[in-house]
Amino acid sequence: MAEATPSTEQPELKRAIGPKLLLFFVIGDILGTGIYALTGNVAGKIGGALWLPFLLAFVVAFLTAFSYLELVGKYPKAAGAALYTNRAFKIQFLTFMVAFAVMSSGITSASSAALAFGRTYLQSVIKEFFSDTFTVSATLVAILFIIALAGINFRGVSESVKANVVLTCIELSGLLIVIAIGIYAIAVGDGDPGRLTEIHTAPGQTALLAVTSATALAFFAMVGFEDSVNMAEECQDPVRIFPKAMLWGMGAAALIYVAVAITSSLLIPSDELAKAGSSALLRVVQVGAPSFPLWVFSLIGLFAVINSALINMLMASRLIYGMANERIIPRFFGTVHPFRRTPWISIVFTSGIAVILVSTADIAKLGGTTSLLLLIVFTIVNVAVLVLRKEKAEHKHFRAPTWAPVLGAITCAYLAMPVLSGRPWDDYKIAGYLLAAGLVLWGINRVTHGRVEIHPEKLSK
């Protein structure tokens, strides 16, 4: 009898995620900083019709979700947009820039969460338990917050989708509190329904530009669904369960967002919401339910932004590590700490960028930059799904109706354009600086190592 030889192949990831866990993962990945921190800023761009940009952002994201569903069913690998870009266009530089844009969006998203932590929810808790004369620097707190995240990241964090169910329930509870306040306000006749159709325009601005400008910012609240494709290799029968989980999850998140937006507009004039900024939901709770302990909602908000920031910084540092491991940026960034076994150089690098961002930008700019970067990526993904139709999979998978990726590419590109969307130039400047940093790293690597083949499926490992 021949002696069995041990296999040298890597074992497959454990397929532990069923349809319910995947549904909670999608909802949990979408809920977070966007709605907790940017409601007031969106109101400042559109007025009382605050619900409209969140609804339109959902429609644009929903169209793009069809493309992701077809691609994840066809290529059930944990690599996402970089894999699809590489397969469709086979342009190594484009693949790298897509991966770097995704990484950058994680940093800007985490930075906006850090500012919401320092400037809004922590300040509310401090005021509740200490005198108003006790103040702390919000920017300093945001920087310390990023450093603390880096410490947790360095120590090593084992993510669990079962724990995500608990985190999602806590984040969701805060939004349900706001919705319950809205229902009560309607029941007792409070609030002004007339505000729900008000669209305010700046001098020289059309109503269409006001709506698209607000939608471009509100889109930040709908991102996160695309991260779920990175769980494909750990799902039970991903081809079958992904479509329902993603579409139902996005629909549930959109319904919650629209209900929160309607409640906010019913109870508070848009100019007051805009003035409140990232504190808008705190103001809604304060006005709609004066007896409700505000510190409870503040703690829920703190938890929501901490969770969002940690997930995004983990993703960003691992992507940099993956790029270095694949030798498409200097290998130095892939250095692993000998004791903690975490990619400490990539953690320091991404955290350093985040510290610079929280020191120089505000929440609206960082949220806008996040949505801009992902709108560009989504435009490419929507085109990629059409290009890849020439490749036939050996197994059955979800196929999006052709109109969905076509409309998805058009709407995403529209919201990414400066003139058409009314997006502020600061978003493009921040995105440009981040992508320029990636270009420098790419150039250094080309000079020192020459052309390197990219394997996107290995970037997120």
Encode pLDDT of 350-368 as tens digits. Answer: 999 999 999 999 999 999 9
3-class secondary structure, 17: strand
Over residues 375-389, the mean pLDDT reads: 95
The model's confidence at residue 162, banded by pLDDT at 50, 70 and 90, is: low
- pLDDT tens per residue, range 192-216: 999 999 999 888 889 999 999 999 9
What pTM was computed for the model?
0.88
Distances (CA, A) of 73 to 69, 80, 116, 311, 397: 6, 11, 36, 24, 5
CA torsion angle 363 37 259 377 (round to 10):
50
Q: How confident is the model at residue 332 (pLDDT cuts 50, 70, 90)?
A: confident
* pLDDT-based confidence at residue 185 (cuts at 50, 70, 90): confident
Domain boundaries, the chain: 19-390+399-458
- What is the average per-residue pLDDT within 248-268? 94
pLDDT of 9 above 90: no
Q: How far is Cα 243 from Cα 400, in angstroms, rounded to an integer?
A: 10
Right CATH number for 19-390+399-458 from 1.20.1740.10, 1.10.3720.10, 1.10.287.130, 3.40.50.970? 1.20.1740.10
Alpha helices in 238-293 (DSSP H): 238-267, 270-276, 280-288
Is residue 54's pLDDT more than 50? yes
At 4, the pLDDT band (50, 70, 90 cuts) reads very low
* Mean pLDDT for the stretch of residues 402-419: 94
454 vs 169: which has the higher pLDDT: 169
d(CA 269, CA 11): 57
